[in-house]
């Protein structure tokens, strides 16, 4: 059923784009009620509007905390136009019908993000606005609710193309958007208060939906909910896919572990090449050497600006995505020669402290594994202590294994990934895969180190590693057969340290 807009209540925080709405309402001779700054804004446009105070006979009180909370306002919104009793009471109390409500909310989340004081944040909890939105949305059969500036264009179309008449389908759609706004707002407020109270309730709300081409596979639909542009800027290439986003997330988490000049290559969320070097081009060459086959179609990430020398080398292979904090102009010109190549600038780390995934008929939530193992965490388990150089290498390898799918083994030497075994059903299989990779790419494992994401249940892994040339090991420890592993190391001049921290990744 079509409804013509005759009256409107407008009270907004964000006024950008509102001018054309006001102008069109004036052209349609819609009676406007408004408050405070919005009223001044409307008047400055040369359009008449009535003060809410004149309707309610009450001024704005308590420093603006109470402006619209009044029966004459909410009665005009909630009255059912097909209910004789409602209409009789409207007439008795001289309450005008309100057909259109344009209200947004105080910027609560934005205020929290600025680091404002608790008092300032509390004042940004909207009361009147959220109540108006819910009331108008509830009565969508008779009232059109516009709860965000993002809906101004859609409203303008109704006003300009349909002479201010809205359909029931349109009003219900706007109501759904309004409840999305209100529920997301309340979730943000709850999570702010719950940061200290730790009530065991999972609430998460995310807007800015982006439709993706498809999910992991072409037959699966997919969307991304979040603000990608806050963390990254895509400056070239095709549209980012679902699988690209998973790899980008894995790459950003991995590179965040390193401060020195580092280049990494990832495939299916696993690091297949990584190296540190004072020279970025050399870091790239070493990273690529770790597994030049898997690097084909992979995701590249660096923590330093890409220069022309590095770009020239990178451009020799096919890859899907490259991420860096910045690019030299001439380097960018080289990388942009492939039109579909995704080139991204990373503006900030953007690492969340919580992670969750759907499981069965519920959701699993956990703290993200942000533990960065340092030398102070290490406990030497063997008679032979690792040298300072070995400790540095062990910590390097441990960073990589932390970001590898379990079961995972990482072999490194001179801060270069020599071989990785990832996503295997046994630790021995992961080790054998890592050794095979190192051998296939002609790496000499003599003097290399081994990192494991979890403890060794038996001594067989260190025995296999030792025969391949490994002379130092880092692992969490904690197996009931640690003594067997330690004994083998002691008998074969291998140093081993325990971190005390497992890094399963599934």
Q: List, by residue number, the catalytic residues.
A: 138, 268
Alpha-carbon distances, residue 128 vs 60, 77, 255, 257, 306 (angstroms): 11, 13, 45, 46, 51
DSSP letter for each residue of 17-32:
THHHHHHHHHHTT-EE
Q: Which of 203, 238, 239, 235 is nearest to 224 (CA)?
A: 239
**Bridge partners, 204 (sequence order):** none
Q: Which of 113, 35, 102 is nearest to 70 (CA)?
A: 35
d(CA 392, CA 405): 23
Q: Phi, psi at residue 398, to the nearest 5°?
A: -65, -35
Residue 488 makes CB contacts below 8 A (sequence gap 6+) with: 459, 462, 463, 466, 494
Q: Which two tokens stand for residue 173?
A: 């759609």
d(CA 260, CA 399): 13
Q: Which of 182, 222, 188 is nearest to 204 (CA)?
A: 188
Contact 499, 377 (CB under 8 A): yes
Residue 470 makes CB contacts below 8 A (sequence gap 6+) with: 411, 445, 448, 449, 450, 462, 494
- End-to-end Cα distance, the chain: 52
β-bridge pairing 3-4 and 165-166: antiparallel
């Amino acid at each position: 059923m079509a409804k013509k807009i005759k009256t409107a209540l407008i009270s907004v925080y964000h006024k950008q784009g509102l001018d054309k709405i006001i102008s069109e309402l004036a052209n349609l001779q819609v009676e406007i009620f408004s408050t405070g700054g919005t009223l001044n804004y409307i008047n400055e446009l040369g359009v008449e509007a009535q003060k809410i105070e004149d309707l309610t006979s009450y001024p704005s009180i308590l420093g603006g905390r109470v402006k619209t909370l009044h029966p004459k306002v909410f009665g005009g919104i909630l009255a059912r136009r097909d209910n004789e009793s409602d209409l009789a009471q409207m007439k008795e109390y001289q309450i005008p019908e309100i057909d259109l409500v344009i209200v947004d909310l105080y910027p609560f989340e934005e205020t929290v993000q600025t680091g404002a004081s608790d008092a300032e944040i509390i004042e940004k909890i909207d009361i009147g606005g959220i109540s108006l939105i819910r009331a108008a949305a509830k009565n969508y059969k008779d009232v059109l609710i516009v709860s965000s500036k993002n809906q101004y264009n859609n409203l303008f179309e109704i006003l300009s193309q349909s002479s201010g008449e809205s359909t029931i389908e349109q009003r219900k759609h706007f109501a759904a958007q309004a409840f999305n706004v209100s529920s997301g707002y309340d979730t943000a407020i709850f999570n702010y208060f719950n940061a200290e109270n730790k009530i065991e309730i999972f609430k998460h709300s995310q807007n800015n939906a982006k439709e993706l081409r498809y999910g992991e596979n072409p037959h699966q639909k997919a969307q991304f909910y979040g603000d990608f542009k806050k963390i990254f800027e895509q400056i070239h290439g095709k549209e980012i896919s679902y699988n690209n986003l998973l790899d980008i997330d894995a790459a950003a988490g991995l590179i965040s572990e390193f401060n020195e000049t580092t280049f990494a290559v990832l495939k299916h969320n696993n690091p297949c090449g990584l190296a540190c070097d004072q020279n970025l081009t050399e870091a790239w060459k070493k990273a690529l050497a770790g597994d030049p086959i898997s690097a084909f179609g992979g995701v590249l990430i660096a923590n330093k600006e890409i220069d022309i020398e590095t770009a020239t080398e990178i451009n020799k292979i096919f890859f899907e995505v490259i991420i860096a904090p910045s690019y030299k102009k001439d380097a960018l010109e080289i990388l942009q020669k492939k039109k579909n190549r995704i080139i991204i600038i990373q503006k900030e780390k953007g690492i969340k402290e919580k992670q969750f995934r759907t499981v069965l008929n519920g959701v699993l939530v956990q703290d993200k594994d942000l533990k960065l193992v340092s030398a102070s965490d290490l406990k030497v388990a063997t008679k032979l202590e690792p040298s300072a150089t070995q400790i540095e290498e062990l910590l390097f390898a441990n960073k990589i294994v932390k970001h590898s799918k379990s079961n995972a083994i990482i072999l490194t030497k001179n801060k270069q990934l020599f071989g990785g075994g990832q996503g295997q059903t046994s630790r021995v299989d992961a080790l054998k895969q890592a050794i095979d990779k190192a051998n296939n790419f002609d790496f000499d494992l003599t003097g290399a180190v081994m990192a494991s994401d979890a403890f060794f249940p038996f001594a067989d892994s260190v025995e296999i590693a030792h025969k391949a040339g490994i002379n130092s090991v880092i692992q969490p420890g904690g197996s009931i057969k640690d003594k067997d592993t330690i004994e083998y190391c002691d008998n074969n001049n291998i140093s081993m340290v325990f971190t005390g921290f497992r890094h399963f990744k599934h």
